[in-house]
Amino acid sequence: MPDRLDKLLNQLKALPPDRPLDRLESAVFKRIDKKSSADIFGGRALQIQVAVTCGALLLGLMSAKVAGLAAMPSPLLSELVVLSDDSVLAPSVRLEGGL
């Protein structure tokens, strides 16, 4: 198998290149420079970031309005406090002998 592979590589090496390779490097660098200088937002990246942020804030406010949490109630509901219903089961409370 290695002999066959060496033979194939030598045949490939003996073939002339099908395209001129003298300007290949400069063509590649031109394409890289062209892609790196292209701005997909057309120089308006900051405006798009502000618009996305405002949209996210508005979406959050609308979903809070729909959920009925537009204004936080003065006494916190037990559903809003983490472990409020199960606080007697917390290990720290059980070790202290509380409740």
What are the structure tokens assigned to 90, written together? 């917390």
Cα–Cα distance between 82 and 68 in angstroms, integer?
19
**Within a domain: 64:** yes
Task: Write out pLDDT tens, residues 47-87.
Answer: 999 999 999 999 988 887 777 654 555 454 444 455 555 56
Conformation bin of residue 90: beta by default, left when phi > 0, alpha when psi is -120 to 50: beta
By the 8 A CB rule, do 37 and 31 touch? no
Residue matched to tokens 């030598």:
10
For the chain, helix (H) and strand (E) counts, in that order, are: 4, 0
Domain containing 58: what range? 42-69
Please tell me the total count of domains within the chain: 1
**Within a domain: 59:** yes
Asked if pLDDT for residue 18 goes beyond 90, the answer is no
